[in-house]
Amino acid sequence: MTKSSGSSQINQLLTEMNAEADFPISVLADSQGLPIAYAASQGIDPERQSAVVALVQKVALQVSKQLGMAEADEISFFDANGQHLVCRPFQADEHNLILAVIVPDRDHNYRRATSHAVTEIRNILKTFWK
């Protein structure tokens, strides 16, 4: 039996999370916005979302510094129809990462799914970064 790579395990995790939580796209990016892994419905560009995630992260850091606040635990942007982009910055070992998902509407629960994914991503990366 062959062991799958960390990247393929994370892609599979994101695919499963999207299916279970009904997210059209999820992206795991580094702090510069470079995509590490993603799962997306057909017709959605994960590279463009990664670029937006990087911009969101930079703005959030500037706001935190300007206001003397701690780093953000979550950053959300809502559109007029209730769809929103949720960015969850986190650390895995000493690496700063961002999990971003598109949530289809305001009443959609997402926190449990993204929290579980963050925990699983940390576990997967820990195995490969030993």
Segment 55-74, tens digit of pLDDT: 777 777 788 788 888 877 88
Q: If you classify domain 6-128 with CATH, what class do you get?
A: alpha beta
Does the pLDDT of residue 19 top 90, yes or no? yes
Least Cα distance to 28 among 43, 50, 51, 12 occurs for 50
Higher pLDDT, 21 or 58: 21
The residues spanned by each domain of the chain are 6-128
* 28 Cβ contact partners less than 8 Å away, ≥ 6 residues apart: 10, 14, 35, 36, 37, 38, 97, 98, 99, 100, 121
Terminal C-alpha separation, the chain: 21
Q: Is residue 21 classed as helix, strand or coil in its secondary structure?
A: helix
pLDDT recorded at residue 130: 61
Predicted confidence band at 109 (pLDDT cuts at 50, 70, 90)? very high
